Amino acid sequence: ARIWLNQKLFSLLRYDDEGDLEPDSIIPLVDGGTEAFKGQARFFLYPFYSCFECSQSDAQTGFKFDLCTIRNLPRIAEHCIAHALVIQWPWLEEFKSHTVYKLGSVPKDSDKTQPPNRVSLDKDNPEHMTWIYERAKERANQYNIEGVTYNLTMQYVKNIIPAIASTNALISAACTNEAIKYLTKSSPIINNYYFYNGQSGTYSRTFEYKKNPECFTCGSSTIKMQIKPDMTLGQLKEAIDAKYNVDARAFVTHDEKTLYNRGLGITEALAEPLNKLVPDAGEIAMMAVKKGASNKAVQFPLFLSWQ
């Protein structure tokens, strides 16, 4: 939702015939978020500040532990839960309840045998969650680790972050404060990121998130990629779509020859060029892409080179 809103607000910017920005087309965005005792408040003023997508590469998703730590040297309760989820669950051969099941032989770290993955995990099934909790509890007892609970198991497996009322109130106040300052011009707005950490003590900081020159929403609008000689246009399109979160619609050469042009829908005639090899790396000069919140495709210079 934030990515869509970010793209939409940026696409609403208008410029006059001389290329100057029309001030009444600027719609700022005040955004806040919390995670337990941590929180952030951000102010987006398009196109002067960095946009939301500029910082997407720094986003973290859930708990991540090294596999060797989970297997051989668990130290905290989450390591035990991860072992039950990542190591043991894929070796289930049959599951009727958390007490009636058939678990295959879990191999050692040196064994590269692939697990059967015969039982699909349903994170909303209490029986499945109870089984993971009980296996995690057994491993915690084996290594004298405390803290494994059913609630913690739910939080880890479903990536649930507890909401702290004090953190929510603080970040809400910070967002409201920035909105009031912008509307009343009573004080300078933040530029452009406020961070709060109350995990141990109290710490806060304000700093500027720099623009990402490779951002597809507000960056320099130039794509540079290294490709393999045996890459097809379809593979090039997939790589660009995945890396920049766009939908590549056309590839055009320096002499304005269209290699691929996608219309309103995919047909066999449109899909056929994607099976052809990419021509000389420096031949493609332009690419048209479509973002989720845009109503039209936008052209970007494309610079390719062989790996």
What are the catalytic residues? 68
Question: Which residues contact residue 280 at a Cβ distance below 8 angstroms, ignoring those fewer than 6 apart?
Answer: none
What are the CA-CA distances from residue 268 to residues 259, 272, 275 (Å)? 15, 6, 11
User: What b/e string do you get for 175-200 counting C-beta neighbours within 10 Å, with b at 16 or more?
Assistant: bebbeeebeeeeeebbebbbebbbee
Instruction: Tell me phi and psi for residue 251, to 5 degrees.
Output: -130, 130
Please give the Cα distance from 110 to 114 (Å, whole number). 12
